[in-house]
Amino acid sequence: MNSIIIAVLPLFIGFILDLIIGDPHNWPHPIRLIGKSIEKFEIFFRYCFSKTKGGELAAGTIMAICIIVLSFFLPAVILWIAYKIHLILGLVMETIMCYQILAVKALKTESMKVYKELEKNHVEGAREKVSMIVGRDTESLTEEGIIKATVETVAENTSDGTVAPMIFMAIGGAPLGFLYKAVNTMDSMIGYKNDKYLYFGRFAAKLDDVLNFIPARLSGIFMIIASAFCGLDFKNAARIYRRDRTNHASPNSAHTEAVCAGALNVQLAGDAYYFGKLYEKKTIGDKKDL
């Protein structure tokens, strides 16, 4: 029993710290370091391999493996040393790591910036704020498009930024949490089906699909239950979830988006521009005014 408490304690305290402190932009952060590493590694591995489809696939796969290995073993070694020195030091170090892996308050903070701009009828300001949290083109988004984009990213990142990393940390501590975040970060940076990343980012994108398969579905179920406690339309959330949970190119993203669409009685998704190209996407939820 004591060993279980010790194993769970860093995750629990880390979660509380994230709720209180969030992610101050002026603080050093390991996830940002992972992002910088991905940028540098991409340049290096693209240089080392041919520009053919096979070469790009090999370069992206090897790069992804290197990032994953480093992201897991560096924190694992640090924690091994810390726990060897003293149990308390190890718990403190792992608590800090768990806190840094989660992004609950950051997601709320960034999405509320969009809301506050719209509340002041500053559509241009809202476009700028939403561009910080979504991957699509935002320059020409209408107010409705801005709201949809924000709700979608909050829905998806409820799984990616909270539920999924907590599951992985509960299984394998902070090192496994960092492994998950490394894969998720790579997917957000290179997991696009465009000319530049179709082959180079394929391995990372597919691995992200695998790692998020169970968390996305659990997140959808948790969100349906939560919608009842929040006074939202949980019956419609369950109905839209059953109907539209596969209405996305990703096998996972629509699960939480469908719940949000149903709970809020809005329609999400639909066609969107990425890097100047229009992508046709199925809608999620029933069409109503936002």
CA distance 119 to 113: 10
**pLDDT digit string, tens, across residues 208-260:** 999 999 999 999 999 999 999 988 888 999 999 999 888 888 889 889 999 99
Tell me whether residue 1 is in a domain: no
Residue at 47 is within a domain: yes
Tens digit of each residue's pLDDT (9 = 90 or more) over 26-67: 778 899 999 999 999 999 999 999 889 999 999 999 999 999
pLDDT at 44: 95
pLDDT at site 117: 86
| Residue pLDDT, tens place only, 155-173 | 888 998 899 999 999 999 9
Q: Would you say residue 53 lies in a domain? A: yes
Q: Considering the domain boundaries, does residue 37 fall inside one?
A: yes
Measured distance CA(159)–CA(131) in Å, rounded: 20
Average pLDDT of the chain, as a whole number: 89
Q: Which of 166, 188, 189, 187 is nearest to 177 (CA)?
A: 166
Is there a domain that residue 289 lies in? no
User: Residue 42: CB partners within 8 Å, gap ≥ 6?
Assistant: 63, 190, 200
Rounded CA gap, 85 and 57, in Å? 42
Domain span at 45:
6-284
Number of domains within the chain: 1
Q: How confident is the model at residue 2 (pLDDT cuts 50, 70, 90)?
A: low
Residue 108 within a domain: yes
Helices assigned H by DSSP within 195-265: 202-229, 234-244, 253-264
Closest CA to 182 of 203, 155, 199, 151: 203
